[in-house]
Amino acid sequence: MKAAIYREYNQDPTQVIKIEDTDIPKLKANEVMIKVESASYNYNDLWAIWGDPVKVPLPHISGSDVSGIIEETGEDVLKLKKGDRVVSHSNMSCRVCEMCTSGHEYDCNDRLIWGFQTGPLWGGFCQYAHLPEVNVVKIPDAVSFEDAAAISMVGMTAWHMLVDRAKIRPGQVVLIMGGTSGVGMAGIQIAKLYGCDVIATAGNKEKMDKCLELGAEYVVNHREPDWYKKVREITKKQGVDVVFEHIGKSTFPQEVGLLKMGGTLVATGATTGYDSSLDLRYLFFKGTNLLGSTQGTKADLEQVIHWTSKGRIKPLISTVLPFSDMVKGHTMMANADQIGKILTTPQKL
């Protein structure tokens, strides 16, 4: 099979990623083999190639989001069969510890993100990917392979942040930072699905317009120094119930200041930097909830796929690259200049 392989770390993915011929791996008894029709890029693919902040196994195949058709099943596979249309659930956990068996698979000490921390040569940017049955979700005919690959990790992450962690309710005001990012575009649509009022932020006019198209009632430019004053004005100085955060250092202190009494900030990333400050008076005096969140559960992903099939969550897709050009997708991710997810098609060179 063809696979996108690299054997050393490099800041420039174009220097190290090569499309190579490699053997189709042998299935374990609990695994299924997926003929990969569509695969999407995530920021962790860049961390892997950079070897920073985590040294991933080498040689490496990246790619944590794939959709396709089951080609073969191991002898212990119970519910999936050859020909099923499926999408990957990249959160690999032990499934036997206390966290896993109490529904907190994302807090498992042995958790690995498939395609990022797994290997050597075990990820999704290839023609045939193997995964344990528990890490695969069936997709209905109404969901295309492209939509499934585009929404799986970001949709699951956003669902977990808003529904499981922040526990959003109808009528709440939710501030979605970075509304056209992968998690942001899912966050806007999930908050609307739950009957919330959405204020989104974005970094330029084109992205701001897209936020409104996705359903946000209001949008502000978070690159303007007084962006948070505009949010406060929109809320008539009341503040917001929930902040959906993944931007990090550059906006975090202002986001905390925008929360209502008893409000909740839920964070899943820190693109602009980790070492932020926090005025602790906001924390104790206002009864603020600061929640971390990473990935989600298989059940979260199943919800996202369900609402995608109903047309209530529409993934944003910017580019579909033939597999021979797949390395371009990493450069586009690094430049962050696209709106929506980048996909590649391993079966089409």
Question: Which residues would be at the binding site for Zn ion (CB under 5 A)?
Answer: 93-94, 97, 100, 108
Which is closer to Zn ion, CB of 14 or CB of 109?
109
* Residue whose C-alpha is closest to residue 214's, from 343, 147, 314: 314
DSSP percent split of the chain into helix, strand, coil, nearest 5: 30, 25, 45
Q: Which residues pair with residue 21 across a beta bridge?
A: 2
Which is closer to Zn ion, CB of 97 or CB of 212?
97
Which is closer to Zn ion, CB of 72 or CB of 107?
107
Nearest distance in Å: CB 108, Zn ion = 3
Nearest distance in Å: CB 102, Zn ion = 10
For residue 54, give the amino acid letter: V
Strand runs (DSSP E) across the chain, as ranges?
A: 2-5, 18-21, 31-40, 65-73, 85-88, 91-92, 112-113, 128-132, 136-138, 173-176, 197-202, 218-221, 240-245, 259-267, 289-292, 317-322, 341-345
Nearest distance in Å: CB 101, Zn ion = 8
Nearest distance in Å: CB 99, Zn ion = 5
Written as six digits, the tokens of 29 are 């008894």
Written as six digits, the tokens of 44 are 């962790």
Nearest distance in Å: CB 269, Zn ion = 23
* Cβ atoms 300, 308 nearer than 8 A: no
- By beta carbon distance, the residue nearest Zn ion is 108
Which is closer to Zn ion, CB of 103 or CB of 195?
103
Which is closer to Zn ion, CB of 90 or CB of 93?
93
Q: CA–CA separation, 304 vs 288, rounded Å?
A: 28
Which is closer to Zn ion, CB of 256 or CB of 301?
301
DSSP 273-286: -S-----HHHHHHT
DSSP state of 23: P
